[in-house]
Amino acid sequence: MQRRQFIAGLGIAAVWPDVARAQQPGQMRRVAYVTSLSETDPEQQRLVSAFRKGLEDAGWVEGSNVRIDYRFGGGDRSAMPKLLKELLQLHPDVVLAATPSAASAARQQTLSIPIVFVQVPDAVSAGYVTNLAHPDGNITGFTNFEFSIGGRWLQIMKDCAPDTTRIAVMFDPDNPSWASYLRTIETAAPSFKVQLTPLSVRNPTEIKDKITEFASEPYGGLIVLPSPVTLLYRGAIISVAGQRHLPAVYPYRHFAAEGGLLSYGMDLASLYKQAASYVDRILKGAKPADLPVQLPTKFELVINLKTAKALGFELPASLVARADEVIE
């Protein structure tokens, strides 16, 4: 079905919601929350809680003056269009689109309902907005990384394991952002005197086989790129990397909290609370076009010393001293 036909079928005009309607007292407002991740994932539950808390801090209490309709893809990004159709038929006042595939499906299916995205690496290249400062449309949100962080991941790897000469970069080939991350890592690699091996994975079997093959030779390390697939199967990645005594740098804190060696990236819970502030402003009449896309401002280094000791890694004291959090 064509996008315009779909919007017409819902009876939604391609205009902004009336500001007077947005400010009517005592009205139950409706927020759609959609993600490609799993509802049972502990990290997803933490992010949902952070989003709810952000709304509560702004005066929106679920079941009292706001209703949140949730849809979870369970790791299947192909389910996003169907889930978005279901949500749009409920006529939400605003859509919170978590993960790139959710944002893409939302952007394709409505030009009228406001959308706030979270965890999108590059909103301009993805075609969601034409300008970060002035999004110009019905969508805005929060990015989770700048691609230049790839060089920082290399630096942390060398600080962690100075003898590393080979680094595998694990990515999901269906996630369009991987190529930009890899380019920045490739650009920085010569200065760190390391050779890169791209590892394309979609499932736990590929994760196990490719890590095992790569780790069969010495002086290797692993950098895991952010994506719904690496997030969904993080347990398998952490387990196999540990079995092979492979030093690994992960993109989010929960990788380290769940047994990974160390992570460097954005605090996602904070990101979801910030997204709630944009949802609040839209519910009160603001337009997404007037809310600039926010770039990440704070990154955290988390080190799991318990894992380091179990794997026999002697982490430099200077690296541990720089950590924002040390898990012992």
What's the mean per-residue pLDDT of the chain? 89
Cβ atoms of 241 and 234 within 8 Å: the answer is no
pLDDT of residue 127: 85
Cβ atoms of 123 and 131 within 8 Å: the answer is no
| CB atoms inside a 10 Å sphere around CB 193 | 9
When pLDDT is cut at 50, 70 and 90, the band that residue 26 belongs to is low
Length of the chain: 328
Instruction: Quick: pLDDT tens for 53-90.
Output: 999 999 999 999 999 999 999 888 889 999 999 999 99
Specify which residues 117 forms β-bridges with.
97, 141
**C-alpha span between 203 and 72 (Å, rounded):** 18
CB-count burial class (<10 Å; 0-12, 13-18, 19+) for 292: middle
**C-alpha span between 251 and 249 (Å, rounded):** 7
The two three-digit tokens of residue 35, written as one number: 């993600």
Contacts of residue 165, defined as CB under 8 A and 6 or more positions apart, other chains included, come to 193, 194, 195, 219
Instruction: Quick: pLDDT tens for 257-300.
Output: 999 999 999 888 999 999 999 999 999 999 999 999 998 888 99
Span 198-205, mean pLDDT? 96
CB-count burial class (<10 Å; 0-12, 13-18, 19+) for 162: exposed
pLDDT of residue 218: 96
CB-count burial class (<10 Å; 0-12, 13-18, 19+) for 96: buried
pTM of the model: 0.84
Cβ atoms of 327 and 303 within 8 Å: the answer is yes
pLDDT of residue 18: 40
Span 152-180, mean pLDDT? 93
pLDDT of residue 245: 95
pLDDT of residue 11: 36
Residue 10: pLDDT over 50? no
Instruction: Quick: pLDDT tens for 234-248.
Output: 999 999 999 999 999
The two three-digit tokens of residue 252, written as one number: 């989010």
Contacts of residue 143, defined as CB under 8 A and 6 or more positions apart, other chains included, come to 120, 121, 122, 123, 293, 294, 295, 296
Ordered structural domains, the chain, with CATH: 3-145+268-298 (3.40.50.2300), 149-266+300-327 (3.40.50.2300)
